[in-house]
Amino acid sequence: MTGNDLFKRERTTEMRRVRAILLAVLAAVLLGGCSSLTGVMDSRPEIPEDPVAAAEALSVIAKLQQANGALKTFKGVGRLTVRHEGKVQVDERMAWVGAPPLKLSVVLFAASFPALRMAGDGEWLYYQDGQEPGAPVKQVRASDPDFKRILSIPIQASDIIALMCGRMPLREHDRATIQPLASGQGYVLLLMDGRSVRQKIFFDETKSETRQTEIYDSWGRLVFQANFLEMQVVSGYRVPSRLVVSRGKEAMVQVLVEKYWADVPVTPEMFVLAAPPG
């Protein structure tokens, strides 16, 4: 066996390994199903009415909505690491391009070759096993797909896009207030639906910087937590260089950004995977 043959054999083995992991997780995106939720909190905490805090909360929310508002498109390359119950499921290079609020295209690599392609155009979710020539493109109708069965965390495409744009996703609410943290080191913005807290967003002492949010369901169970661990400035925008999304101790997803480009030209075709010819 020549050295070149050995290289090809090792590359094929690696790609098959990654392919098996990715497809085993991805296949269930069309099947749905239930999984346990962690991080239960009091779903209806007693939070007194405070008109001053409510007015300040509205001002803070407006600033969050305006963050990087001029950023229309982005692309990047980096590394995706997915852990489930402490075990690494995926640790591969990744490239992506996005356009808020719902358009996203991602390629995962194995041994420097595309192993899986995914794209969403706001109407359909497409995916393709990229290793085989002429591999079929599969699709499911979904305007804002849930990536629970891929990432082990029920996070939607719009959440991922907002975070990659350096913005906190915001849940719908009918009441908001802001309170100092018990530690005295910062503040927490509470977005509520009735008496149920649906989202917490944590700020520094100046209420000008936020690096963490927690999303809850109507029963007070943690859906996911997102942390901007490291940030960078690209073309005047403050965007993540290391982002972690987690769900208690059950699952953790890290995106390590190596290169980030802002306001890049995109076309609608970038967010659609065409069926192979023939």
Q: Are strands 113-121 and 103-110 parallel, antiparallel or unpaired?
A: antiparallel
| Assigned domain for 278 exists | no
| Assigned domain for 35 exists | no
**pLDDT score of 165 more than 80:** yes
**pLDDT score of 257 more than 80:** yes
pLDDT of residue 275: 78
Residue 96 in contact with residue 164, Cβ under 8 Å?
A: yes
| Assigned domain for 25 exists | no
Residue ranges making up the domain that contains 197 = 45-271
CATH code for position 251: 2.50.20.10
**pLDDT score of 41 more than 80:** no
Q: State the pTM of this model.
A: 0.83
Neighbours of 18 (CB within 10 A): 21
Cα–Cα dist 263/67, whole Å? 15
Cross-strand bridge partners of residue 78:
94, 257
| Assigned domain for 138 exists | yes
| Assigned domain for 6 exists | no
**pLDDT score of 25 more than 90:** no
| Assigned domain for 63 exists | yes
* Nearest Cα residue to 53 out of 166, 172, 192: 192
**pLDDT score of 38 more than 70:** no
| Assigned domain for 19 exists | no
Backbone angles phi, psi at 35, to 5 degrees: -145, 165
Average pLDDT score over residue span 48-70: 93
Q: pLDDT tens digit string along 115-143?
A: 888 999 999 999 887 666 678 899 999 99
Is-cis flag, bond preceding 101, omega within 30? Answer: yes
Three-state SS letters, the chain: CCHHHHHHHHHHHHHHHHHHHHHHHHHHHHCCCCCCCEEECCCCCCCCCCHHHHHHHHHHHHHHHHCCCCCCCEEEEEEEEEEECCEEEEEEEEEEEEECCCEEEEEEEECCEEEEEEEEECCEEEEEECCCCCCCEEEEECCCCECHHHHCCCCEHHHHHHHHCCCCCCCCCCEEEEEECCCCCCEEEEEEECCEEEEEEEECCCCCCEEEEEEECCCCEEEEEEEEEEEEEECCEEEEEEEEEEECECEEEEEEEEEEEECCCCCHHHHCCCCCCC
Domain count, the chain: 1
| Assigned domain for 21 exists | no
Supply the mean pLDDT for the chain: 85
**pLDDT score of 261 more than 90:** yes
Q: pLDDT tens digit string along 4-20?
A: 554 455 555 556 555 55
Cα–Cα dist 81/116, whole Å? 15
pLDDT of residue 190: 97
